[in-house]
Amino acid sequence: MSRLNKLREQIDKYDLEILGLLNKRTNVVLKIRKAKKDKHLSPHSPEREREILARLSKLNRGPFPNEVLKTIYKEILSSSLSLEQPLKVAYLGPAATFTHLAAQRQFGSVTEYMPGSTIKAVFEAVARGNVQYGVVPIENSTEGVINYTLDMFIDSDLQIASEIMLEISHNLLSKTGKIDHIKRIYSNPQAIAQCRDWLEENLPGIPVIEELSTASAAKRVSKEPSSAAVASELAAIIYKLKFVKKGIETFKQNYTRFLVIAKDFPPKTGKDKTSIMFSIKDKPGALHLMLRPFSKHRINLTKIESRPSKRKAWEYIFFVDMEGHIDDAGVNKAIGEIKKECLYLKVLGSYPSAE
């Protein structure tokens, strides 16, 4: 027997062992399902999932890469959960948006995904209990914050349960894959802005038309042979399009941050963020006064944004992200101190920081 065949026999042996262990693990999952049901506990435990992924990543000595290990275990966890109760997640659709891709990265492929036509529709699906979680975009590293998502938190009681950081790569897609066939280009405003330099240099004079999403652009182009879409690789697969050019974004370090919204936020993990929103009295030095407690308690603020309250002219609501969990003493004290000076303050959630 050749050395190659012997090595393949070893692989077959290990595969059989992995299969056996997966089924043994599944039998334990089924016992956990019964125990949770008896105690009226939720079948989904995000903090337990994060604990498993963190522990395995720490114990892994290679050469198997940690990122691939996490991807595989997310699929195992997703499959296990589907045996207990299929997880339902709403996202800003249609299928193949970057939000869809971010949701899949977070919850795995076995989850039941429900597209929402607007960010508001995603919030409503979670609020009504049609799904356990929703995924919405909040900001892009080059184009900034998505104001509509911030606005939704003003009147919503939903919490931020997690965040997802997704590296964004835009592609020019069409039915033929030929650049000289393109008469018009479709995409959403953010994607167009992120790819404007390449489009102006390579397709000058070609009209660029705004669509609600990169996925809806791809769907439209699948029926128009003389059009192209700026969209994701997932859109190319789902809508059966060819690549005209991959990676046309201006800045290659291009990330979008997404929020996972739910009715509750999870317990502290030790590496968390807290998000709050507040409005303040209109007087000189008011914002400085609000920020002082964070400095006093050594809380690092990672973002601050302001939006008109839409209730009173020139009244603004501030959105603040900070390092730490609401259960941390410093965070709790700082928020407690600024609350005394606020017209209004709401904790939007404490949740694990994305890597």
Give pLDDT, residue 316.
78
Give tens-digit pLDDT for 230-242: 999 889 999 999 9
Which DSSP helix (H) or strand (E) runs through 302? Answer: strand 301-308
The domain made up of 171-245 has a fold known as: D-Maltodextrin-Binding Protein; domain 2 (3.40.190)
Give tens-digit pLDDT for 90-137: 999 888 888 999 998 888 878 899 999 899 999 999 999 999 999 999
Three-state SS for 181-229 is: HCCEEEECHHHHHHHHHHHHHHCCCCCEEECCCHHHHHHHHCCCCCEEE
Give pLDDT, residue 110.
80
Give pLDDT, residue 87.
84
**Phi, psi (degrees; rounded to nearest 5) at 16:** -65, -40
Give tens-digit pLDDT for 283-318: 777 778 888 999 999 999 999 988 877 666 657 788
Percent of the chain whose pLDDT exceeds 90: 51
Taking CA 173 as the corner, what is the angle to CA 105 and CA 180, rounded to the nearest 5 degrees?
Answer: 165
> Is pLDDT larger for residue 5 or for residue 314?
5
**Phi, psi (degrees; rounded to nearest 5) at 48:** -65, -40
pLDDT band at 147 (very low <50, low <70, confident <90, very high): confident
Q: Is residue 330 exposed (0-12), middle (13-18) or buried (19+ Cβ within 10 Å)?
A: middle
Contact 88, 112 (CB under 8 A): yes
pLDDT at 348 over 90: yes
The domain made up of 3-84 has a fold known as: Chorismate Mutase Domain, subunit A (1.20.59)
Asked if the 267-352 domain carries CATH number 2.40.30.10, the reply is no
Give tens-digit pLDDT for 195-240: 999 999 999 999 999 998 899 999 999 999 999 999 998 899 999 9
pLDDT at 257 over 60: yes
Give pLDDT, residue 298.
94
Average pLDDT, the chain: 88
189 contact partners, CB below 8 Å, separation of at least 6: 210
Give pLDDT, residue 154.
87
Two domains, one topology: 88-168+255-261 and 171-245: yes
pLDDT at 171 over 90: yes
> Is pLDDT larger for residue 261 or for residue 43?
261
Q: What are 304's two structure tokens?
A: 């601050």
Provide CATH code, domain 88-168+255-261. 3.40.190.10
Which of 351, 154, 161 lies closest to 260 in space, CA to CA? Answer: 161
Where along the chain do its domains lie?
A: 3-84, 88-168+255-261, 171-245, 267-352
Q: Is residue 67 exposed (0-12), middle (13-18) or buried (19+ Cβ within 10 Å)?
A: exposed
For residues 274 and 351, what is the distance between their CA atoms, to the nearest angstrom? 6
